[in-house]
């Protein structure tokens, strides 16, 4: 089974802190994604990556950056956390072009609270 793990289930940070959310997948997937989930808004794509050292902006990239130095790891960075970034953050991965499989596999999520 595909396993996507996220470094923390719950995180509390102060306004202005730099925050790192880590995601690791163990199935050699090419594609990785970061979403935030808010009530009534569903899932919104923040950033995604189709290859090592590659990144592209999603629908709501402002206030975030990402890093993908290794294929299995995709990090989301909040340079200076703000209270409006309090949310559930979900990481996902998918196989990529070879199998033409588009379904994504999700981690358990990190609930981030910024005070």
Partner 1 sequence: GDSVTQMEGPVTLSEEAFLTINCTYTATGYPSLFWYVQYPGEGLQLLLKATKADDKGSNKGFEATYRKETTSFHLEKGSVQVSDSAVYFCALSRGLIGDYKLSFGAGTTVTVRA
Interface residues with partner 1 (CB under 8 A)? 4, 31, 33, 40-43, 45, 48, 50, 58, 90, 92, 94, 96-97, 100, 102-109
Shortest CB 49 distance to partner 1, Å: 10
The token pair that represents 66 in the structure block: 């990402």
Shortest CB 50 distance to partner 1, Å: 7
Between CA 83 and CA 115 the distance in angstroms is: 6
Report yes or no: 23 and 106 within 8 Å, Cβ to Cβ. no
Shortest CB 102 distance to partner 1, Å: 4
* 87 versus 109: smaller Cβ distance to partner 1: 109
User: Which candidate, 87, 86, 89, places its Cα nearest to that of 109?
Assistant: 89
């Amino acid at each position: 089974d595909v396993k996507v793990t996220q470094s923390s289930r719950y995180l509390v940070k102060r306004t202005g802190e730099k925050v790192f959310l880590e995601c690791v997948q163990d199935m050699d997937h090419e594609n990785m994604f970061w979403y935030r989930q808010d009530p009534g808004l569903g899932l919104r794509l923040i950033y995604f990556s189709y290859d090592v050292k590659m990144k592209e902006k999603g629908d709501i990239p402002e206030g975030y950056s990402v890093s993908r130095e290794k294929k299995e790891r995709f990090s989301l960075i909040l340079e200076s956390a703000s209270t409006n970034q309090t949310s559930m953050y979900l990481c996902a991965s998918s196989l990529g072009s070879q199998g033409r499989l588009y379904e994504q596999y999700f981690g358990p999520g990190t609930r981030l609270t910024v005070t």
